Amino acid sequence: MTTHSHRVPEPVEEPRGLWVTFEGGDGAGKTTQAALLEQWLQRQGRTVVRTREPGGTEVGVLIRDIVLHHRGDIAPRAEALLYAADRAHHVATLVRPALARGEVVIQDRYLDSSVAYQGAGRVLDADEVRRLSLWATEGALPDVTVLLDLDPSAARVRLDADDKPFDRLEAEQADFHERVRAAFLALAAAEPDRFLVIDARLPVDEIAVQVQRRVAEVLAADLRA
């Protein structure tokens, strides 16, 4: 009688994606640093998806127009729900699929912005705002969150130099932006393993090196895992 041996197929190692978010007040340099990180990763052969919230998808673009450019008041809870709706669609249709493909997602703002802006800035319950976003995204959290910390008065000087009209949040008063900054720093203190806090007054290249160092550490740890 002939016996046939069947080889058990080797397990295929799934590609490990990486998710990096940039947080901080307006004018802190998030867009600049996201672009520099993208270039650095691409030079290493990584596939990178650059995105933002709100507005990283077609649905998100519509929501972004409402929350940032609507003329007139939006009730604080309605504003928080709009951001959460954008986030739910964004994570489900763009972020998770990219990570599943082993790509690096670099994102300008995520749920920490909602906690800071709608929680502290709009004086809603920060824990409720956070839970709303975690429900919307099925608990998704980034691997690394870079907080570019900048005094609101210094940020206003930068924004004024851009000579662009302010959106609804940029136009808020100084005390609003002070509350937002304090909330970001509190979030970073509560999750030091996820956050990298950098003084946004440092030279652009120096900030970029600090970001690259942290991302390299996380990528190396993933390889060892």
Residue 67 makes CB contacts below 8 A (sequence gap 6+) with: 54, 74, 79, 82, 83, 86, 168
pLDDT at 52 over 70: yes
pLDDT at 172 over 80: no
b/e per residue, 64-90, with b = 16+ CB within 10 A? beebeeeeeeeeeeebbbbbbebbbbb
**Span 84-110, average pLDDT:** 97
The 195-199 sheet, strands edge to edge: 48-52, 104-108, 18-23, 144-149, 195-199
Cα of first residue to Cα of last residue in the chain, in angstroms, is 45
DSSP state, residue 91: I
The pLDDT of residue 163: 61
- Residue 3 sits at φ, ψ, to 5 deg, of -105, 145
How does residue 213 score in pLDDT terms, banded at 50, 70 and 90? very high
- Average predicted confidence (pLDDT) for the chain: 87
The pLDDT of residue 184: 94
- Ranking 56-70, 84-98, 155-169 by mean pLDDT, the lowest is 155-169
Residue 22 makes CB contacts below 8 A (sequence gap 6+) with: 30, 33, 34, 106, 107, 108, 109, 145, 146, 148
How does residue 1 score in pLDDT terms, banded at 50, 70 and 90? low
Strands 48-52 and 104-108: parallel
**Span 130-137, average pLDDT:** 96
Tell me how many degrees the CA angle 17-18-24 measures, rounded to the nearest 5.
155
The pLDDT of residue 136: 97
- CATH assignment of 18-224, given 3.30.930.10, 2.30.30.110, 3.40.50.300, 3.80.10.10? 3.40.50.300
The pLDDT of residue 7: 59
**Span 129-151, average pLDDT:** 96
Residue 145 makes CB contacts below 8 A (sequence gap 6+) with: 20, 21, 22, 23, 110, 112, 188, 191, 194, 195, 196
The pLDDT of residue 186: 94
- Each residue's pLDDT tens digit, 53-87: 999 999 999 999 998 888 788 888 998 899 999 99
Domain boundaries, the chain: 18-224
The pLDDT of residue 118: 81
**Span 146-172, average pLDDT:** 67
How does residue 164 score in pLDDT terms, banded at 50, 70 and 90? low
pLDDT at 191 over 50: yes
How many Å is the Cα radius of gyration of the chain? Answer: 20
Closest CA to 26 of 202, 205, 140, 166: 166
Whether the Cβ atoms of residue 140 and residue 96 lie closer than 8 Å to each other: yes
The pLDDT of residue 168: 46
| 118 or 61: which leads in pLDDT | 61
pLDDT at 193 over 50: yes
Helices (H), the chain: 30-43, 58-69, 76-90, 96-100, 111-114, 126-136, 152-162, 174-190, 204-224
The pLDDT of residue 11: 47
| 221 or 162: which leads in pLDDT | 221
The pLDDT of residue 124: 84
Residue bearing tokens 């690096």: 104
